Amino acid sequence: MRRVASSLVIALALAAACSPERAAAPGTPRFSTGIPINLGSREPYTLAVIGDTPYGPEKLAEFPALTDLINSDPKVDLVAHLGDIKAGSSSPCTDQYIDSIRVLFDRFKDPFVYTPGDNEWTDCHVFSKNNGLYTPTERLQFVRQVFFPVAGQTIGGRRKQVLTEADDPANAQYVENTMWMESQVVFATLNVPGSNDDKASWGSVLPSDADNYPSQGTERSTRAKANSGWLDKAFAIASESDAAGVVLLFQADLWDPTASLNGFDTLVVKIGNLAAGFGKPVLLLEGDSHIFRMDNPFSASSPLHGMHPSTPTAENVTRIVVEGSAAGRAEYLRLTFDPQNNGGQLFSYERVPLH
């Protein structure tokens, strides 16, 4: 316990000593690397994938060590965080806490891609969650300011150029939906949070200025439209460039048997239809339910196939849920894509524990 407490002090001291950059005008010069759609890349490409962390005091205390472990891995080209940067309940969504996590993320030496989870915005209200009295859409705006200060550019030590949906005037606020292509694989992040895709009620008590921010109904409908358009773009780019595969990164576990899931029905059908039409490997990377698993939810033989009405069959889809939360083992997923693999497997993975 003494070691954990000491590490926690160090983590919080790092956050207090620095403050994250705030939103800058698109195009502000930064040190960056690469191009969003790299058609010439054929070499293996490795992601370190994490999610649902830091989740509670112990995981916050361990996070600098996990960062150092990932930074020491010479194979890693990019770090991807699948959302949930705090515990889901009785964990206030303060500016100070969110700022402190951005400081910790800046310690990664490689490009760092993040997609928001429900714990840092959807669930930031008193009703049932006890996370403070916030309007969730106000918190989402703050998350965007902190973690997406420059549209089309990642955070982390080296800034990677990515496509962003913010360039679409119809969906300009969705700076968090990003896309890039490396090693003949198209990667796309989508703002798909747990809490049934923000369908779980915010409750009747909200801050007095709640009317200054989008309502829950408006939030859900506009985000659904943005995500649908972004999925279309990802698979269109993959088809036009003869990509070897598509990877979708988001927070929600769309097949969590312990949760309400009907908010995801339309999204699941769309992903399945696009994947079936594409025909090549499609990988879904999810967090949310905290326990590592790999399966094939669109397979006709999968017990998950019937969880959403009208789910199409797409045998080419694989899903990985990353380990996370306070109870889960501190680890990262070393996920490597190799379009020239003679064995025919586009990706391989290894779970790398902190201890």
- pLDDT digits 0-9 by tens, 228-253: 999 999 999 999 999 999 999 999 99
Beta bridge partners of 128: none
Banded model confidence at residue 29, pLDDT cuts 50, 70, 90: very low
Q: What does the angle CA 290 – CA 266 – CA 234 come to, to the nearest 5 degrees?
A: 80
Per-residue pLDDT of 180-239, as tens digits, reads 999 999 999 999 999 999 999 998 899 999 999 999 999 999 999 999 999 999 999 999
Per-residue pLDDT of 279-314, as tens digits, reads 999 999 999 999 999 999 999 999 999 999 999 999
Question: Looking at per-residue confidence, does 13 or 66 come out higher?
Answer: 66
Banded model confidence at residue 21, pLDDT cuts 50, 70, 90: low
Assign 168 to helix, strand or coil: coil
For 156, phi and psi rounded to 5 degrees?
A: 95, -175
Query: Is pLDDT above 90 for 17?
Result: no
Tell me what pLDDT residue 32 has.
53
Average pLDDT of every residue of the chain: 91
Query: Is pLDDT above 70 for 347?
Result: yes
Nearest to 263, CA basis, from 152, 255, 150, 102: 255
For 38, phi and psi rounded to 5 degrees?
A: -95, 90
Q: Are strands 293-295 and 317-321 parallel, antiparallel or unpaired?
A: antiparallel
Which structure tokens are listed for 94?
């303060």
pTM greater than the 0.85 cutoff: yes
Which structure tokens are listed for 272?
């399945």
Assign 28 to helix, strand or coil: coil
CB 81 within 8 Å of CB 63: no
Cα separation of 243 and 246, whole Å? 8
Q: To 10 degrees, what angle do helices 216-240 and 265-278 make? A: 0
- E-only strand ranges, 100-222: 111-114, 155-156, 159-160, 163-164, 178-182, 185-189
Query: Is pLDDT above 50 for 44?
Result: yes
Cα separation of 283 and 234, whole Å? 13
Banded model confidence at residue 127, pLDDT cuts 50, 70, 90: confident
